[in-house]
Amino acid sequence: MTETARQYALAVFQLALEKDALKQIGDCFVLYKDFENPDYRPVFTNPRLSKSERKSLVNEVVKDESYLSFLQVLIDNDRFDLLPAIRLEFENLVREMGNIMKVKVVSRDPLTQNNKERLKRKLESEYRRQIELEEATDPKIIAGFRLEYDGKITDQTINRQLEDLKTNLKR
């Protein structure tokens, strides 16, 4: 994440707070996610198109005035390519404000609803934060799960235990 992307995210976050439009701006990032698509993004970063032509394209699609202004600033400053990083940083700021921690849980098979709820309650109790679970599967996992959050990894898989055992036996 670049510092520049963080600055833009902070700016749009503060604007959203001032206008009491945090959810609305967050929804726009999702609604207009096609702007981040590698197939479409070159249109908005193409130096052959004037900035006014690029703004015209955005004006035709975006209906939210605040989000439109934000995108126009990105075009003016030749920073449209930072949009994916800005969105991620914006989402992080929203989670921080709401004391929400995003946790990715990776397991061989999808967790049952009961297991998701139990894991979520345990993590909320342990970290005293609301937990937003993101689920992923990895067929290479024999059993167990891996948690990824706040730049940390907690690996409770059989694969990890076997690796640790292998390392200890080599000593």
Tell me the per-residue pLDDT of 114-126, one tens digit each, with 9 for 90 and over.
Answer: 999 999 999 999 9
156-169 confidence digits (pLDDT tens): 999 999 999 989 89
Q: What is the DSSP string of 64-108?
A: -HHHHHHHHHHHHTT-GGGHHHHHHHHHHHHHHHTTEEEEEEEES
Fold (topology level) of 99-170 = Glutaredoxin (3.40.30)
**Tokens 């975006």 found at:** 62
Domain ranges of the chain: 3-95, 99-170
Better-scored residue on pLDDT, 62 or 150? 62
Fold (topology level) of 3-95 = Peroxidase; domain 1 (1.10.520)
Check residue 124 and give left, alpha or beta (phi > 0: left; psi -120 to 50: alpha).
alpha
Mean pLDDT score, 86-90: 94
pTM: 0.70
Q: Would you tell me how many other CB atoms lie within 10 Å of the CB of residue 104?
A: 14
156 contacts 144 by C-beta, under 8 angstroms? yes
38-50 confidence digits (pLDDT tens): 888 788 788 888 9
Q: Which of 24-33, 41-50, 67-76 has the lowest mean pLDDT?
A: 41-50
pLDDT score at 37: 84
Cα 26 from Cα 147, distance rounded (Å): 25
Q: Is 57 helix (H, G, I), strand (E, B) or coil?
A: helix
